[in-house]
Amino acid sequence: MTAPANLAKRFPADFQFGVATASYQIEGAAREGGRKPSIWDAFSHMPGRVYQGHTGDVACDHYHRWESDLDLIASLNVDAYRFSIAWPRVIPDGRGAVNEEGLDFYDRLIDGLVERGVKVFPTLYHWDLPLALQGYGGWTDRDTAEAFADYTTAVVSRLGDRIDALATFNEPWCSTYLGHWIGKHAPGEQCLEAALATVHVTNLAHGMSVQAARAVRSDIPMGIVLNAVSVYPGSDSEEDMAAAERSFQFNNGVFFGPIFDGAYDNEFMGALGEHLHVQEGDLKTINQPLDWWGFNYYFPATVKHDASKDAVFPATIAVPSTNSNVRTDIGWEIKAEGMSHLLRQVYDRYDNLPPCYITENGACYNMGADENGVVNDQPRLDYLDAHLTVLADAIDGGIPMKGYFAWSLMDNYEWAEGYKMRFGIVHVDYETQKRTTKKSGHWYKELAAAHVSSVSEAAE
């Protein structure tokens, strides 16, 4: 384990340490304040979709406990807080009337962050599409992109004067592929054609959202958060190397390409492009210059070529890596170097890539408090330490990094896993809603404080 003071010195003076959450995972109050259902409200209430039928109806009750939660954030000495704004709180039907009571909540939250000296990093979409829009096709329908731009305008008009950096989407890979192809996330569809349609509509919505935000306030640093997949070939054979490239394009290139280069990959388009329904001018709209981008990293992927006759692009098979026995409680492989592997890949590929934040990184370990009320989550601490060390090495290697957000501030609703899986650096007792900072949280607090001290010492 690296001493926090020593690790902190490896990061630039303007580097920011933060914590992250998402609206449906922590807010609760699902039927309060004028909020209407999202696709996740519907999905979680469907039998068999979520572990033991858990829902986000109450979650961490952050909607009512936001002030004490902000005190908790401030106590961790972090520079910034990344959270998401719930579209169904702001425009409950997805289109039409703005719910001022919903905006009031985020107004108070942001004012509270500003008062505590914590920078404000909202995300406009973290998977909670207003349910009313799903009835019209949701993210498969181009009109949803226009509705998202209108929602962006409403948020930025009210809150934009106190936003330090704004993300349009969080992890569109999940909302498109997991939600519409694999079916593990809302809305639970299992159709590749639908998933590909949502990829393009989401990209279009991103571009339109950036335009809408800048029309109101041109000074907000705009970005998007991508859970890009760090793909390794299963062997050094030509077939597996080509498979890894196809996997990269299918999982990453469909977002990086149009957003940063204004084009989809040719091989991908040749295989699946008809399902995107690209129209004239779309790529120009998507390709808005950005001020930053976010990378959410948890685990890598290793693939080999799928030689079966009915294989569909990307025609790959997932295989275990040499490191595959080292896993977190949710079953995800631990490979810290996968973070820098992906970062080097994308900065080599895309000329227009702005500086990056690690907007999520963390580990699922489910230990609770001992008889003394202490949560000793040493494996999570080791995970954070290893990944931050790799990140410092990447910065030394010339990768332009601006910050790191630990996932998550506190244990919360882990989507289809319900409350079974815990990612927080703060423990939550869901019966009492008591928050207890874990060992990893105390270490991260020391790291953030040490970074502030090292910057102050360097300035003297």
Residues 94-143 have pLDDT tens digits of: 999 999 999 999 999 999 999 999 999 999 999 999 999 999 999 999 99
DSSP E strand stretches across 297-384? 301-305, 316-318, 356-361
Answer whether residue 457 shows pLDDT above 90. Answer: no
**pLDDT surpassing 80 at residue 460:** no
CATH no. for 14-446 = 3.20.20.80
What integer pLDDT is reported at residue 189 of this predicted model? 98
Backbone φ/ψ region at 134: left (φ over 0), alpha (ψ -120 to 50), beta? alpha
For residue 454, what pLDDT band results from cuts at 50, 70 and 90?
Answer: confident
pLDDT value at residue 458? 66
- Catalytic, out of 27, 245, 360, 414: 360
pLDDT, tens digit, 9 for 90 and up, residues 224-267: 999 999 999 999 999 999 999 999 999 999 999 999 999 999 99
Residue 459's pLDDT band (boundaries 50, 70, 90)? low
pLDDT tier at 209, thresholds 50, 70, 90: very high
For residue 139 the two structure tokens come to 């993210």
Share of the chain above pLDDT 70, in %: 98
Over residues 283-296, the pLDDT tens digits come to 999 999 999 999 99
Say if residue 323's pLDDT is above 70. no
Angular region, 78: left φ>0, alpha ψ -120 to 50, beta rest: beta
Separation CA 168–CA 95 (nearest Å): 17
Residue linked to tokens 């999570």: 380
Express the helix, strand and coil content of the chain in percent, nearest 5 each. Answer: 45, 15, 40
Residue predicted with more confidence, 2 or 329: 329
pLDDT at 1 over 90: no
d(CA 295, CA 226): 5
Estimate the crossing angle of helix 439-459 against helix 378-396, to 10 degrees.
30
> Is the entire prediction scored with pTM above 0.95?
yes
Q: Where are the domains of the chain?
A: 14-446
CB atoms within 10 A of CB 226: 25
* CA distance readout (Å), 180 to 110, 175, 394: 33, 7, 34
Give residue 301's pLDDT: 96
Share the mean pLDDT of the chain.
Answer: 97
Q: How far is CA 61 from CA 47, 84, 309, 380, in A?
A: 23, 15, 51, 24
Give dist(CA 450, CA 99) in Å, integer. 42
User: What pLDDT was estimated at residue 321?
Assistant: 76
| pLDDT of 324 over the 80 cut | no
With cut-offs at 50, 70 and 90, classify the pLDDT of residue 318: very high
Q: Give CB contacts under 8 A, 24+ apart, made by 180-184.
A: 180/139, 180/140, 184/416
280 is catalytic: no
The number of residues in the chain equals 460
Say whether pLDDT at 150 is over 90: yes
* Span 13-57, pLDDT tens digits: 999 999 999 999 999 999 999 999 999 999 999 999 999 999 999
Exactly one of 27, 171, 333, 414 is catalytic; name it. Answer: 171
Neighbours of 457 (CB within 10 A): 9
Instruction: Specify whether 67 is catalytic.
Output: no
322 has a pLDDT exceeding 80: no
What are 414-428's pLDDT values in tens digits?
999 999 999 999 999
